[in-house]
Structure 1
């Protein structure tokens, strides 16, 4: 189903979103472990972010319009609007994820100020999502391995507060979406905790989509469109902002085949901007 990709097509900017609601408990919740290995966010950011809405009119940074509650949510993880812009790096795991293809190493960073995440469970969730039968390793093109503090990762998977999302991703006031910029896969903790309204699937499924979508940009994938009403949404569709007749689907593969739509993106508004 794959259309030929245009040479030089860069990552496009992934949109994932800030809610004012806190929702039921998830397996990621626990009393916070002490922060480890703060990492300053002062390194160059690289090219423009893939999911930042630079083609949308930015908001003025005022209060957001509350969204309707999502299908599920996690009240056990708490966070300020603006964190410290420093990070704790989770310990690595030497176990390879996938059996063939190009190896990409990654580290998991949590912004200091975010509380209640079970870090061991979070790392397990990330690794299992990447290595799932329908995940990014399914086609034999990619392998992953999680590295820890002091190592040089192929990308950083960063869980950040809404305002830090704007610092890292740029593009004006947003607070709602996530993005990929350079070697950084930036996940907005507000979306991780709250999901999005009317998504039509569980918070766990939305988290898998969020992780796979933004990582897909790091792998060179661009935004895609819904193939048709009632069909699963491609993982590279901006499902955070709208399904456009498709049903939610969190995965890049389906029945062993790469599942894709036509290249393109919708002009969906970002809540609160």
Structure 2
């Protein structure tokens, strides 16, 4: 299994580092730690309020900019005419970089002019502010409409874990060369104590969290961005890459049999996921 997913647009690390709720000096230290352990993808967003810390952590790591894949996102209230570019430039300034590897629409806005919004995103790529663009939290119907605009999409970042199916989205992303990036891959911590995953973990001498990540990592066209503040957890998550190759068909069948209807990220502005 390759540690990167090659798409027609860009090569995306299969395992990245999520930074939601990591801020201040501790947030910067967590980013530095993750990079020192071997992570080469950082995921942030303007809404996280931590782009400056992520950028400082990247700079302090001493790694060449080209070796680290940096993703940020524009908030759904900032999708108006002329807004997207301004917010992208502000993110770049806070991060201390001239370009993003990936820039996403963080959430869709109800009633947005999708062709115009996608066109504004495409211009960022044309002008070199972002190497690739994508979306996040787009349900199947809306993702199809975004694809129909003709703007190349690198990823759709959504909640995805062993308790939530994303089969409908994967049926769209895979044939279109779009990576499905899984956030909250541990079900906001719940999977770390799931009895089925604990039993599988015991057989392999690993943790249930590692099993949950490995189940995702072995899937075609799926990238994963777990958050972990402590170096021990960061290292543990990295080790899930090798575990993904050791899970048996029986292990996978047990995880596949878990209920897949539990969504934990449900803000008031979320789209209709059934659409």
**TM-score, scaled relative to structure 2:** 0.29
Give 1 or 2 for the bigger CA radius of gyration: 2
Q: Which has the higher contact order (CA 8 A, sep 6+)?
A: 1
